[in-house]
Structure 1
Amino acid sequence: MWIEEVVAGRPAWRHVASGVVFRAMPGGTFRMGLSEAELEAVRAIERSGGVEDTLEPFLAGAGDAQPTREVRIEPFLIARHPLTVAQVRHWLPEYEDDYAGADSGAARLEGDLDDLLEALPFRLPSEAEWEYAARAGTMTLTFRGDGKPGEDQLLDDFGDEERTAAAENAFGLAGMGSVSEICADVWIPGFAGAPADARPRDGDGSRVVRGGAADLYPWQGCDEWLLLLAAARYEHIQFTGVRPVAPLPSTES
C-alpha cells in the first residue's frame, strides 16, 4: 500500500494506489491556539500601517481560538498538500470542480464532500494535528514568522514541483493556510475543556475549517491574510479542501 521515497529532498511515503504523497509528522507537544504574543504581533502589523480594512472582527473573534493549551501529539502521516482535482478523481472518477483552474489545483469540494470522505481509506486530521503540522515547530503567526503574510504565501496549484517544494514548511508540507481544509472536529467556539491530546472534539453540527486565504484570491483588501495564520479557525459553511491523515506505515507495508 505504501512506498518510502524522497520527495524534494525529504523523506516521504507515497500511497501506491492513488499516488498521494504523505509526510511523517514527529510526535511531540506544542502550544495550541492564538497566543497573546500572536495577538500582539497582529496589532503590531496594524500599528505599522499594514492593515487594509479593520481588525475589529478578528479581535472580537479571537476567543474562538483561545485559551491556548499544551497538546500532546502522537506521530502520524499527513498529505504533503490538500488533495488535487486529479487525486480526488482516483476515488470519485466523475468529480468536477468549479473552482480549480487545472487538475493539479487543490480540489474544493461541496456536494461531493461526503462521498469523498466515505471513499477515502484515510481520515481527516483533528484540529490539533492540523495546527501542529502547520506550525512545524514554530509559535509565530505563520511558520515564516510574525511578519504580515502576503499573497506570495498562497499556493493552491501543485503542478509546479519547484514552486511546491519552495513553499514547504519545516515538516515538508505545502500550502498550509492557503486552501480551506476541513478537520474532524465539530465546530465549538474556543478551546475551553478541549482535550490535551490530538483527539477531535465530537458532536453534532458543522466541522471546523482551517486556512482559506487562497479561496478569496484575488484579495479585495479585507485583510484576507489573516486566514494564513496557523491559529485561524472557523465553521465550515461552503466548499472545502481535504488534506487526509493516516497512521504511520509499518516497515513491512
Structure 2
Amino acid sequence: MWIEEVVAGRPAWRHIGSGVVFRAVPGGTFRMGLSEAELEAVRAIERSGGVEDTLEPFFASAGNARPVREVRVEPFLMARHPLTVAQVRHWLPGYDDDYTDADSGTARLEGDLDDLLEALPFRLPSEAEWEYAARAGTSTLTFRGDGKPAEDQLLDDFADEQRTATAENALGLAGMGSANEICADVWVPGFAGAPMDARPRTGDGPRAVRGGAADLYPWQGCDEWLLLLAATRYEHTQFTAVRPVAPLPPRETSGLRSA
C-alpha cells in the first residue's frame, strides 16, 4: 500500500495506486489555540497600520479558538498538500471541480464530499492534528513567525514542484492555511471541555474547518490573511478541501526511492 521515498529532500510515504505523498508527523505535545502572545502579535500588526479593515470581528470571535490548552499528539501520516483534482479523480473518476480548471489545483468539494470521504482509505485529521502539523513546532501566528502573512504564502496549485517545496514547513507540509480544510471534529465554539489528546470531538452538525486564505483570492482588502493563522477555525458551510491522514506504515518497506 505504501512506498517510502525521498521527495524534495525529505522522507515521504507515497500511497501506491493514488500516488498521494504523505509526510510522517512525529508525536509530541503542543499548546493548541490562539494564545495571548498571538493576539498581541495581531494587535501589533494592527498598530503598525498593516490592516485594511477593522479587526473587531476577529477579536470578537477569538474565543472560538480558546482556551489554550496542552494537547498530546501521537505520530501519524498527513498528505503533503490538499488533494488535487487529479488525485480526487482516482477515487471519483467523474469528479468535476467548479473552482479550478487545473488538474494540479486543490480540489474543493461540495456535493461530492461525502462520496469522497466514503471512498478514501484514509481519514480526516482532527483539529488538534491539523493545528499541530500547521505549527510544525512553532508557537507563532504562522510557521514563518509573527509577521503579517503575505499573499506569497498562498499555494493553491501543486504543478510547480520547486514552488511546492519552497512553501513547505518544517514537517514538509505545503499550503497549510491556503485552502479551507475540513477536519474530523464537529464544530463547537471554543475548546472548553475538549480532549487533552488529539481525538476529534464528535456529534451532530457541521464539521470544523481550518485555513481558507486562497479561497478568497484575490484578496479584497478585508484582512483575509487572518485565515492563514495556525489557530484560525470556523464552521464548515460550503465547499472544502481535503488533506487526509493515516497511521504510520510498518517499517518493512525496502529502502528509499528518490523522487
**TM class by shorter-chain length?**
over 0.9
Q: Which position in structure 1 is the counterpart of 2:7?
A: 7
C-alpha separation in 2, matches of 1:131 and 1:100: 26
- TM-score (normalised: structure 1): 0.99
Paired residues for 1:129-208 under 5 Å: 129-208=129-208
C-alpha separation in 1, matches of 2:96 and 2:53: 35
C-alpha separation in 1, matches of 2:226 and 2:101: 24
C-alpha separation in 1, matches of 2:252 and 2:169: 28
Q: Which position in structure 1 is the counterpart of 2:257?
A: none
- TM-score (normalised: structure 2): 0.97
Paired residues for 1:72-87 under 5 Å: 72-87=72-87
What secondary structure is seen at the aligned counterpart in 2 of 1:220?
Answer: coil
How far the C-alpha of 1:252 sits from its partner, in A, is 2.5
What secondary structure is seen at the aligned counterpart in 1 of 2:42?
Answer: helix
Task: Return 5+ residue gaps in structure 1 as ranges.
Answer: none
C-alpha separation in 1, matches of 2:13 and 2:47: 44
- 1:56 and 2:34 aligned: no
C-alpha separation in 2, matches of 1:180 and 1:148: 19
Q: Which position in structure 2 is the counterpart of 1:71?
A: 71
Q: Which position in structure 2 is the counterpart of 1:30?
A: 30
Q: Which position in structure 1 is the counterpart of 2:256?
A: none
How far the C-alpha of 1:101 sits from its partner, in A, is 3.0
C-alpha separation in 1, matches of 2:252 and 2:11: 17
C-alpha separation in 2, matches of 1:99 and 1:159: 16
C-alpha separation in 2, matches of 1:101 and 1:46: 36
C-alpha separation in 2, matches of 1:54 and 1:109: 31
Read off the aligned partner of 1:220 and give its amino acid letter.
Q
- 1:113-144: per-residue Cα shift (whole Å, max 9, x none)? 00000000000000000000000000000000
What secondary structure is seen at the aligned counterpart in 1 of 2:105?
Answer: coil
Read off the aligned partner of 2:85 and give its amino acid letter.
V
- 1:162-209: per-residue Cα shift (whole Å, max 9, x none)? 000000000000000000000000000000000000000001000000
What secondary structure is seen at the aligned counterpart in 2 of 1:4?
Answer: strand
What secondary structure is seen at the aligned counterpart in 2 of 1:17?
Answer: coil
How far the C-alpha of 1:251 sits from its partner, in A, is 1.6
C-alpha separation in 2, matches of 1:229 and 1:251: 34
C-alpha separation in 1, matches of 2:184 and 2:65: 16
C-alpha separation in 2, matches of 1:156 and 1:125: 20
- 1:117 and 2:117 aligned: yes
Read off the aligned partner of 1:53 and give its amino acid letter.
D
C-alpha separation in 2, matches of 1:81 and 1:4: 17
C-alpha separation in 2, matches of 1:159 and 1:100: 13
Runs (4+) of structure 1 exceeding 2 A deviation are none
Read off the aligned partner of 2:148 and give its amino acid letter.
K
What secondary structure is seen at the aligned counterpart in 2 of 1:57?
Answer: helix
C-alpha separation in 2, matches of 1:106 and 1:116: 14
C-alpha separation in 1, matches of 2:203 and 2:220: 35
CA root-mean-square deviation: 0.5
Task: Return 5+ residue gaps in structure 2 as ranges.
Answer: 254-259
C-alpha separation in 2, matches of 1:123 and 1:152: 29
- 1:213-234: per-residue Cα shift (whole Å, max 9, x none)? 0000000000000000000000
